[in-house]
């Protein structure tokens, strides 16, 4: 029969796994919304630049993209932190499920802290930066042509 301590550890880890996964899902949704708003506002500002033939709106479109790129970087960094913790909890759950002892330094709950340097790292990753960089370049080309 399973010991009460193992059962408590298992339940606590299971709840932390659910919490960390829900946070990952939340940041995925925020990232989608951020990208949607970024493109929507960029198209509006770019269209306004075309319509009014005022190149300042093209710069405003580039600024909009920079701001949303930063917000998306923050969301992605937070998501990566929760994903790392979720993976740690999954490994711990496997140990508890097999009846093995947890590592001595393992604590639960132990929600992640967020580091600023991870925001810059996530912003500069190719899969994340490429769409934003392309839109900024288009805005700058539009600015040069108007």
Distance CA 44, CA 99 (A): 58
The per-residue pLDDT for 9 is 78
pLDDT in tens, 34-77: 999 999 999 999 999 989 999 999 999 999 999 999 999 999 99
Tokens 């919490």: give the residue: 19
Q: Crossing angle, helix 116-124 and helix 126-145, to 10 degrees?
A: 70
Mean pLDDT for 101-107 is 82
- The pTM of this model reads 0.83
């Amino acid at each position: 029969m399973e010991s009460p301590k193992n059962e408590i550890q298992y339940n606590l880890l299971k709840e932390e796994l659910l919490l960390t996964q829900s946070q990952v899902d939340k940041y995925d949704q925020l990232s989608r919304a951020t990208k949607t708003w970024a493109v929507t506002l960029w198209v509006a500002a770019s269209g306004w630049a075309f319509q009014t033939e005022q190149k300042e709106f093209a710069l405003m479109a580039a600024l909009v993209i920079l701001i949303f790129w930063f917000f998306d970087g923050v969301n992605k960094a937070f998501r990566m932190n929760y994903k790392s913790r979720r993976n740690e909890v999954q490994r711990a759950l496997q140990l508890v499920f097999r009846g093995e002892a947890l590592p001595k330094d393992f604590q639960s709950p132990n929600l992640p802290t967020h580091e600023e340097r991870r925001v810059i790292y996530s912003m500069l990753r190719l899969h994340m930066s490429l769409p934003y960089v392309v839109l900024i370049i288009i805005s700058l080309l539009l600015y040069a042509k108007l």
